[in-house]
Amino acid sequence: MTVEMIGEKTILVSLCEGDMRRYSLSLEGDDDKMRSGLKDLLCRVGEICGLDHRGKSYLIEALPSSKGCLLIISVHAVKHRRKFRIKRNRARELCVFFDADAMLDFWRSRPQGGYAVYRYEGSYLLLPGVSVSTETMARLSEYGELYPVSEATFARIREHGAILYPGTYPMTASREAI
């Protein structure tokens, strides 16, 4: 095995067939035994070149040669990856009434509050608050269709829709206080 530094962050390693057997390496296949051998080889190369393995990542290119293989190893500092977490909330539903009569019939039935009714793009929409009971949501299906939507859709309707019934919806209460 011969090891040469061919750049500040690049190492050329020439392996003969005996070295490849010693480190359980082959140009074909990918198993745990080969990975273990590659780790041992990287440690040995690090000792020869004086490289510290902590905080480093490697790009290894293997090229076949007549009596073994050539490895071109590029050494890079590991960048700390920022971790992002996507918070998934339970999908909220809005009710699109079949027509104005259906909306009025629902309003006359006077279920508990916790919702607001808007006119938006020619439709009558009910936006339930967080405290709407499952019984009220079940009753809504008699008067319209329920659709799961995102918070962004709720915000767009509240911003651009005409409010018909404010109910006790939290956002409309804060808007009235302003």
pLDDT at 93 over 60: yes
Nearest CA to 69 among 108, 126, 22, 26? 26
Based on the fold, state whether residues 62 and 103 are members of the same structural domain.
no
Give Cα separations from 116 to 36, 125, 127 (angstroms). 63, 8, 5
pLDDT at 173 over 50: no
Q: State the first-to-last Cα distance of the chain, in angstroms, to the nearest integer.
A: 77
Nearest CA to 146 among 95, 86, 70? 95
For 116-168, give the DSSP string: EEEEETTEEEEEE-TT--HHHHHHHTTTEEEEEE-HHHHHHHHHHSEEEE-TT
- Which pLDDT belongs to residue 170? 42
The answer to the question of residue 87 being in a domain is no
28: tokens are: 């074909």
For residue 120, the enclosing domain spans 92-177
The answer to the question of residue 39 being in a domain is yes
* Residue 150 and residue 159 in contact, taking contact as beta carbons nearer than 8 Å: no
Whole-structure pTM over 0.85, yes or no? Answer: no
Based on the fold, state whether residues 170 and 96 are members of the same structural domain.
yes
Of 16-30, 63-77, 158-172, the poorest mean pLDDT is in: 158-172
SS3 3: strand
Nearest CA to 129 among 177, 87, 171? 171
Question: In sequence order, what are the residues at sequence separation of 6 or more whose Cβ sits closer than 8 angstroms to the Cβ of residue 148?
Answer: 91, 92, 93
Give the single-character DSSP code of 99: S
Amino acid at 118: Y
pLDDT band at 91 (very low <50, low <70, confident <90, very high): low
| Model pLDDT for residues 41-90, shown as the tens digit of each residue | 888 888 888 777 777 788 888 888 888 899 888 888 777 667 776 665 55
The CATH code of the domain that includes 143 is 3.30.70.1950
Q: How many domains does the chain have?
A: 2
